[in-house]
Amino acid sequence: MQRYFVEQAYQTAVDQGLSLIGEDYHHAVNVMRMKETDQCYLVFQDEVAIKAEVTRILPETVELKEVAREEQTKELPIHVTIACGYPKGDKLDLVVQKGTELGAHDFIGFPSQTSVVKWDGKKLAKRQDRLSKIAKEAAEQSHRQVQPTVTMFEQAAPFYESFSGYDQILVAYEEAAKAGEKARLVQTIQEMSQGQTLLVLIGPEGGFSMKEVSFFETLGAKICGLGPRILRAETAPLYLLSAISYQYDLLEV
C-alpha cells in the first residue's frame, strides 16, 4: 500500500484535517489513480504512522480520514547517521537509496582529506535536494516511519564540530579489517540502548588516510573492521546497516 510522508506532526495534521497536497496529491491522483474509499499510509514528522482512507478528491487536495494506527515499528532502536567522505560519481545515490531501505536515520556527505571530488555550495545544494528526494521515495517504498535527512557539508570543520552530539562514533577503516579487527562493531552496537545515536564514518574510494583516522579518534571515534573482505566505499554503509538490523531486529527478539 502506498505511503506518504506528511510534513506535519500527527496532531497538527488531525486538527487541520488529513490531506495530501502538492507532489503527493499529484502522485495519489495521477500516478496511483486513487479514488474515494482507497487506502494509503500517512507518516508524520513525529514518526506516527496511520492507515487512512480517501474521503474526497478536490482539485488540489485529497481529503482522508484515519482508519487505524500502524502498530508494527519499522525503525531501528538506535539512530544511525551514515557520513560519507565524498566519493566519485553518483555513489551517494546508491548509499542513500539502499541505506534508507536498510534503516539509516540520517545521511551526511563531507569533504574528507582523501576525497578527489570537490563540491561547491551551489552544486551541493542541488545535490542535497536530489538525495533528499531519493531518501523520501526509498522511505515510502520500504515502509519507513522516518524520512531520513540528507546534509551535505561544503567544509569539514562544521561537520567535525557536530561529533560531540553523538553517543557513539565508529569509523570503518580498511587497515583495521586487514589487521583482523573484529570486536569493535559488535561491542559498540550491543552496548547501545534505545534512542541513542551512532555516527558512522565511511571513507571515499581508497579509504581515509591514517592521519584523518587518528584525528577522528581524538574526536571520540572508534576504529572498526567490517569482516575480512575489502568493501567498496558504497558497500560498507550497507554492510553496517544490515549488521545493525540483524543484531536489533532479528537477534535481540
Footprint of a second copy on this chain (CB under 8 A)?
Answer: 72-74, 94, 98, 101-103, 141-144, 178, 180, 182-183, 185-186, 226-232, 235, 238-240, 242-243, 245-247, 249-251, 253
Choice between 111 and 148, CB closer to a second copy: 148
Task: Return d(Cα 29, Cα 4) in angstroms, integer.
Answer: 13
Per-position b or e across 80-106, b if 16+ CB within 10 A of its CB:
bbbbbbbbeeebbebbbbbbbbbbbbb
Give the Cα separation of 192 and 186 in Å (integer): 10
What is the C-alpha to C-alpha distance for residues 92 and 222, in angstroms, rounded to an integer? 23
Minimum CB separation of residue 143 from a second copy in Å reads: 5
Q: Which is nearer to a second copy, 125 or 186 (CB)?
A: 186
Output the CA–CA distances (angstroms, integers) from residue 86 to 118, 119, 142, 215, in the order listed.
8, 9, 25, 18
Identity of the residue, 190 or 209, whose beta carbon is nearer to a second copy in the bound complex: 190
Q: How far is the CB of 54 from a second copy (least distance, A)?
A: 22
Least Å distance between CB 200 and a second copy?
Answer: 14
Strands 62-69 and 19-20: antiparallel
Q: Rounded distance, CA 40 to CA 54, Å?
A: 8
Instruction: Output the smallest distance, CB 61 to a second copy, in A.
Output: 28
CB of 56 to a second copy, least distance (A): 29
Q: In this structure, what C-alpha cell is assigned to residue 52?
A: 487512512
Distance of alpha carbon 109 from alpha carbon 84, whole angstroms: 5
When the beta carbons of 11 and 141 are compared against a second copy, the nearer one is 141
| Residue number, 74 or 130, with CB nearest to a second copy | 74
Question: Strand 149-152 to strand 106-110: parallel, antiparallel, or no bridges (unpaired)?
Answer: parallel
To a second copy, the closest distance from the beta carbon of 249 in angstroms equals: 4
Query: Can you say whether the dihedral through the CA atoms of 25, 31, 33, 39 is positive or negative?
Result: negative
Q: Which is nearer to a second copy, 45 or 235 (CB)?
A: 235
Per DSSP bridges, beta strands 62-69 and 49-57 are: antiparallel
Minimum distance between the CB of residue 198 and a second copy, rounded to whole angstroms? 15
Q: Closest CB to a second copy among 114 and 142?
A: 142
Q: How far apart are CA 60 and CA 81, in angstroms?
A: 36
